[in-house]
Structure 1
Amino acid sequence: MITGQTHWPSPAKLNLFLYITGQRESGYHDLQTLFQFVDYGDTLTIAATSCDEVLLSPAIAGVSVEDNLIYKAAMALKNATGCDFGADIHLEKILPMGGGIGGGSSNAATTLVALNYLWQTGLTDDELADIGLQLGADVPVFVRGFAAFAEGVGEKLTPVSPEEKWYLVVRPNVSIATADIFTHPNLTRNTPKRPLASLLSEPYVNDCEKIVRMLYPEVDKQLSWLLQYAPSRLTGTGSCVFAEFNSKFDADAALAELSDDVSAFIAQGRNLSPLKTRLADYQSANNHSIKNWTQP
């Protein structure tokens, strides 16, 4: 076990495109989507402990500890490895819930990657991703830490390197449950599957966007506003919408015109997750001796 307080990024993601190509008897949907990370997200401060207990703070209103994906991830790793260590985990939460930018899935993946390192349980990325898939369809891409083209329910990943653009991400004051979108009778479920090369060469689209804009006027309003400035889309099934820019200057200029009644942030795309970068930093530091590590 590696002791000492450590700090781990839990980055947001964007779905640069999202197509729904079918629905299985189980109810899950087959997708073709392009994931890219951004350099903005939550932070997990984690200290491994010799006791068997996993402690999580602060409490999140309406979510029990047992239902929190961070706790579920820690317990899933313990069950898979037989590890009898524990952890004290503190979440600094800045990503919105229900925003479609992967906050909960990213938290779960960061927990798996960090505790696998701190507890020295020795699982591979493939093994961690398999555990993560039991927690949510988006968890494996965060575990692997590379921008990816995803198929199946999101578990079949092909690394890709889209341009690392600047994004203005806007979240209207609504929270959207994924289930509400995927169960809507008017959702497109038959977009033809296409080769990755074709998808990358065509304008990007999100098949969920039409339903979300119809059900949530706030999202429709903000997306219409963003489209004045740059190509813009819904990400995932949540409420966040984003505009893509070639420079931070242009993104800042659009942000300056944004209404004060919505939240927003600017971030740059990252094809290598900040989580992977932090893990590599810890692995190379003083032969894994990180007792006196302080957050950069």
Structure 2
Amino acid sequence: MTAFELPAPAKLNLFLHITGRREDGYHELQTLFVMLDHGDRLHFEPHSHLDLQCDDPDLPVDDGNLVLRAARLLQEHTGCRQGARLRLQKRLPTGGGVGGGSSDAATTLCGLNLLWDLNLEEAELITLGLKLGADVPVFVAGHSAWAEGVGERLTPVFMPEEWFLVVHPGIAVPTARIFSDKELTRHTPPIKVPASLDRGTLDSLQNDCESVAKRHFPPIAEALDWLQREAGNARMTGTGACCFARLAGEQAARQLLPRLPQHWTGFVARSKQISPLREALATLRARQNSGTS
């Protein structure tokens, strides 16, 4: 296949419960993922070897980047000797809790599976993705999902498309800092997937990482307070640092965006039942099958 481009969409955790800790140190979770129509982008083209370029000078372009690690993992798993030139356009903040690196890795796996004509099934890509990070599988699956385990046991759920304002208060949060805190709640009783994932049910659930994140990183508390005043229903996603609020529609979200405090950044996005990555892959496969470039 010739060169093509794919999205690496953001995600939100609409809630996050920590229900236990395993012997290997990982935490058992329950969460609800929704995909957004905003994110990074990856350009793929055939090349003699693996080469990564990125428009963010602060990000590594060696094996410290999950994109290259995902590509090498796929080569090792399949014995593929092909290369690729990969160009990453970063729009999502590092350490923001919106899945930037994990989404980039998932898009790499899916894109190279297509570029190299490997024909791996989704389940196999999900298994590979888990080796790169607990959030990678949901991006490979590419749909709204109730997640358990370390985040890899996914149950597809239907969620209505909604508009969100996502705020980044200008800091990066190391996930390990949150999960190593002695005061982190680790024994929230597990719940069953609610029969109805209505707004009232979701608003009654919380993010167990939020109180710890606010204590370690005061800008998160400030962002949550601002969003609560301006929009209500403010939440933190993942382990932070991004916070979000649901808005009545696109116009309401875009009117609020310019009012962000100067030292913060943010974006408006719509949740998607099927992720932009999955939609783009379907379009590319259809072109490939029809013989068009």
TM-score interval, normalised by the smaller of the two chains = over 0.9
Percent identity among equivalent residues? 44
> Counterpart in 1 of 2:285?
283
Query: Aligned partners of 1:31 and 1:259: how far apart in 2?
Result: 33
* Structure 2: runs of 5 or more not aligned: none
Q: Is the 8 A contact 2:53 2:61 kept in 1?
A: no
Cα displacement (A) at 1:198: 6.6
Query: Aligned partners of 1:286 and 1:76: how far apart in 2?
Result: 25
> Counterpart in 2 of 1:54?
50
> Counterpart in 1 of 2:167?
170
Query: Aligned partners of 1:188 and 1:124: how far apart in 2?
Result: 37
> Counterpart in 2 of 1:264?
266
2:151 maps to 1:149: no
Q: Is the 8 A contact 2:59 2:65 kept in 1?
A: no
> Counterpart in 2 of 1:93?
90
| Aligned CA distance change for structure 1 residues 77 and 195 (closer, same or farther; 3 Å) | same
The residue identity in structure 2 corresponding to 1:118 is L
> Counterpart in 2 of 1:32?
30
Q: Name the SS for the 1:37 alignment partner.
A: strand
Q: Is the 8 A contact 2:130 2:136 kept in 1?
A: yes
Deviates more, 1:280-289 or 1:134-143: 280-289
Q: Name the SS for the 1:285 alignment partner.
A: helix
Runs of 4 or more, structure 1, over 6 Å off, are: none
Query: Aligned partners of 2:291 and 2:12: how far apart in 1?
Result: 34
Cα displacement (A) at 1:258: 1.8
2:32 maps to 1:23: no
Of 226, 237, 240, which aligns to 1:238? 240
Query: Aligned partners of 1:289 and 1:69: how far apart in 2?
Result: 32
Of 47, 54, 79, which aligns to 2:76? 79
> Counterpart in 2 of 1:180?
177
The residue identity in structure 2 corresponding to 1:256 is P
Q: Deviations over 1:186-233 (max 9, x none)?
A: 100000000111783252311000011111111101100100112110
* Structure 1: runs of 5 or more not aligned: 292-296
Deviates more, 1:200-209 or 1:140-149: 200-209
Q: Is the 8 A contact 1:282 1:290 kept in 2?
A: no
| Aligned CA distance change for structure 1 residues 287 and 263 (closer, same or farther; 3 Å) | same
Q: Name the SS for the 1:213 alignment partner.
A: helix
2:163 maps to 1:161: no
Deviates more, 1:277-286 or 1:191-200: 191-200
| Aligned CA distance change for structure 1 residues 21 and 246 (closer, same or farther; 3 Å) | same
Q: Name the SS for the 2:15 alignment partner.
A: strand
Deviates more, 1:155-164 or 1:129-138: 155-164
Q: Is the 8 A contact 1:48 1:115 kept in 2?
A: no
Query: Aligned partners of 1:204 and 1:166: how far apart in 2?
Result: 19
Query: Aligned partners of 1:235 and 1:257: how far apart in 2?
Result: 21
Q: Name the SS for the 1:73 alignment partner.
A: helix
Query: Aligned partners of 2:213 and 2:195: how far apart in 1?
Result: 26
Cα displacement (A) at 1:253: 2.6
> Counterpart in 2 of 1:222?
223
> Counterpart in 1 of 2:134?
137
Q: Is the 8 A contact 2:3 2:45 kept in 1?
A: yes
Of 5, 8, 12, which aligns to 2:6? 8
Query: Aligned partners of 1:114 and 1:64: how far apart in 2?
Result: 18
Q: TM-score, normalised by structure 2?
A: 0.94
Q: Is the 8 A contact 2:52 2:61 kept in 1?
A: no
Q: TM-score, normalised by structure 1?
A: 0.93
Q: Name the SS for the 2:181 alignment partner.
A: coil
Q: Is the 8 A contact 1:282 1:288 kept in 2?
A: no
Cα displacement (A) at 1:162: 1.6
> Counterpart in 2 of 1:294?
none
2:99 maps to 1:102: yes
The residue identity in structure 2 corresponding to 1:211 is V
| Aligned CA distance change for structure 1 residues 227 and 198 (closer, same or farther; 3 Å) | farther
Q: Is the 8 A contact 1:166 1:251 kept in 2?
A: yes
